Structure 1
Amino acid sequence: MQFMIEDFHATLNSINNGIVVVDKKGIIIFMNQWAEMIIGLKSTAAIGCIVDNILPDNRLVRVIETGAAEFNQRFQIGMTHVLMNSTPIWKEKRIIGAIAVFQEITELSKVAAELEEVTKLKCTLQYVLESIEEGIVVVDKQGIITMMNPAYYAVLDKKPHEVIGKKVTEVIPNTQLHEVIENGKGEMNVIQKMNGNNCIVSRIPIVKNDEIICAVGHVVFKDIKDLKRLANEISHLQHELEYYKERLRKTLGGKYTFGDIIGETKKIEEVKHIAQRTAKGGSTVLILGESGTGKELFAHAIHNGSSRCQGPFIKVNCAAIPENLLESELFGYEEGAFSGARKGGKPGKMELANGGTLFLDEVGDMPLGMQVKLLRVLQEWEIERIGGTKTIKLDIRVITATNKDLEALAASGHFRQDLYYRLNIVSIQIPPLRDHKEDIPLLCEVLLRKISLKLERFVDCISPEAMKVLKAYSWPGNIRELENILERSVNIMEEGICILPEHLAPIMRKILKPQHVEKESTRAELVEIRYEAEKNAILKALEDTGGNKSKAALLLHVNRSVFYEKLKKYGIGYNSPGKKR
């Protein structure tokens, strides 16, 4: 049973959601590593503490008191906004504790629900083993008994303390289970005498990572026809287990394809075409674009459009993980590598991405010291865990994304130039929404369907006046802001009618106010003023930076490509301070 618990804990620790389990008194009894990262406290310090002292505003104690699960609780831990689901843990019609699963609101993963299903499946398997009349025994790779069900105890006339931890050859007469461990050859439905009776015995080696880790013995004491019933029961449970394994695999894999990228304008079609061609190769990809343009969606689509689509898609947000944790998160660590290191160590995200894709989001925020180590990985395609000496070969594709101008950062020394060249083998520039506003009606159609399903409210149209406002708005937050605006509108309006201008955010409704509708002459004057102001700002920035365009763009907080477009627009060339051409 111990190996099942360890594997279950390993499963929980490998999931990128925080998990906290408390007993019926609200005392923390388990906290996984992702929860440690979000809360900012090691599990060794948290376990044994009252949950309210560690996790403010949680509802675990209330869940234990009421027995009712609570979902979609939003709150903030430090700078991290999370969504929490809290569920009571039942055993034999009584509550023995509660479990909280929380994740960043930006994550749409359904891992919490899948974990609940896996937990139910584990309990179902345990109850089946305890209830069936056939004997089940499990031995580890040393031939030591680690689990035996009540039916087997009864036939042997022994108590658990007389069996668990003993060599199988000392407990079960004529057993050959230890030989299965040694040679790896299983046996199915063979006849063996036990206590003077003929029994049907099956011996099965259990293999993990090409290594035999244990063996299972199955004995039918009664009529052989009962074997068919048990086989059907086990087969059904195995199919269920495979189903949930596949669901978990899909959760770790890429979620989106190129079919999920909405847009029919020339700019979007060109970007999709480049990304689709890039997906077929294996080169490193750098995705550039403002916040909310869909950089992560493109990363998922490239993964799913590649030969690695069956492998894992592992995301790391370089801006969200503290600098002192980022190295262990990427490279993993060995047992004893540092104070608080988990027993047995932990694989890093790079190791977990083997055979698939590693997506480094917000790579422009990666600390310079970490950039050196990432550069070595991209050169050698191998790593060592922290505190380890074993070299681990990597077979991964690296996709990075940023909303910063990496070229300008590299030129100013804020980002390593050699790493920039390694990342920029193929770059994909995603246009902001203001540059393809023709896609807004189609985007609204798709987003409204998604929002209606989420909120269980049917809204499927936008009035011409409201659409005019949406098209006139500048969208600094891009598609993410559009989705938020639409979701707000659906929340405050009556079901079954079109979205009207009054349903939109106040900042957008100003677009339709009369005082904002200027006369043509006034508008022309305003354009002239903006033209001169912008041109003068560019000239001043070039003068202050000695004519260095990259530094000037950084000084003005604009993308380098946008800065060059402005130079072309205003007919500005620059060689040296005070010398325009």
Structure 2
Amino acid sequence: MSFEETPQTPALGALVCDKSGRVLAAFGAASDDKVCAAAVAACQALPEKHAMEGRVFQVAVPGSADGQEQQFIGLCVRDDAHQLVLLRDSTVELPLFDFIGTVPFASAILNYFITNPYQAITVADKEGKIRFISPVHERFLGLKRGQGYGMAATKAIPNSRLGIVAATGKAEIGQLQDMHGVTRVVNRIPITQGREVVGAIGQILFKGPEALTQMQQRLSQVQEKMEQYRRELEELRAKASPAAMLIGSSARMQRLKREIETVARLDVPVLILGESGTGKELVAHAIHAAAHNAGKPLVSLNLAALPSTLLESELFGYAPGTFTGGRREGQVGKLEQAEGGTLFLDEVADIPMEVQVKLLRVLEDHMVERLGGRTSRRVDFRIISATHHNFQALIEAGRFRLDLYYRLSGVVLRVPALEQRFEDIPELLIHFVRGFCERNRIPTPAIAPDLARYLAGRPWPGNVRQLRQKVEEALVFCDGRVLRVKDFTREDAGAEYDGPVSVAAGVSGEVQQATVSAANEDTSTTLLDVERRAVLEAIAKHGGNKKHAAESLGISRSYLYKILNRKTG
């Protein structure tokens, strides 16, 4: 049959001829006269050295009247009397043909792959039955040579998934597999023929005895780390609950925790009121952690920490090219960053009047427009705000919009000052001591029995924040074994501790509160003098910088100014 008469010439062919070029046998594509003639001519023209090395060559077969020709890849192998020519259509991708044809030691390479003692293979068909197992794998599984052939992979190999991979066509790379008490790294790869999955190959990584032991140790270490991280994650999730985030078991704190759990489930704005240092931001985090959108971002912005010129751009963002020196691509504001989550505005009472109008509009329609932009986009978020100011006084003074207050105060939570829950000081003390020692990786000292009573009798204008600062400062200078009262009084020149000023740890909250109030009334003038002196000393220590002075004392700047401006007895 001629080439022109064949609608589709086979992709593969072979022919045998003598040394003169006379064809003795032809098969497949070589049965075509033109293909055969072109192959013989190309092979005869091939240098003897190339033929002996098994190099491939091009075979161009003249086509029909349209001038198109068919291209084949040829491989010629010669001996003294004969030459064998193998052909494949160049348009068909057959890497195995090229590999076997061009590599003289191809069989040695293939034999190495299937007998490699360090990387065994297992071949299963579409039904999950084993067709081949590497010798090293047979020995590991305790199988005799060829015993596993035809056996179900799940029967021969513990935890085998080759049948699943062959059925689904989905590869599994770098998986860990336990076999007879040993963990191996395996790859399971589906094999296709045409467009059909016909089976799967499993590659199992083996090593020598020493390397295998080391790898097993590393895998064990990785598994131990994963288990450790899992436990830590569970602990973090547990700590995310309001009860764990807020320290204290007093009646006021128990009520606050119940209120947090209630409002967290509702999509309502929350306003948190409380003195500086009471933990208003921690309350906001507790609400978000217990809410349905806990997996979404919690975006915080302290409105008192920014000048009014920067506040708008931080809150609303700005379009590209709005500001000289700004980011070329513009900036996403906090409102947009809180998409789907929670926006926490700390010290919201300090927001300027001109920004209050814009914020009110956003809270009404949830449409946000960046500064310098021309388009608005809808942003859904939950808003939580906090302040230590008296809103009623601000509204009456015309410094805060009443309509914005109503938008922010869907639910109002009040965080008690430390002087309203002195019975929580022992628990707070233990919490701060443990936290400081864990962060700094130092031994946790014992706590002197009279320390909690001493601290409960002290004034804490900076509330929990100030208490924490004093506890951590005392830990720095304690002897490392026991945290004592003297570690808190080292700055009192010649002062000695004569016992608790007011309350005793462990008594009821109502009795403690009454005792503390009486003690504060008796010593109010002295405490005012002490506070003012402490503020003046802190300001002098920080070169007149009131912000740094307030931070060192654990109080807000507004409270610092209040101390400076009030009269002392």
TM-score (normalizing by structure 1): 0.46
- Of the two, which has the highest radius of gyration? 2
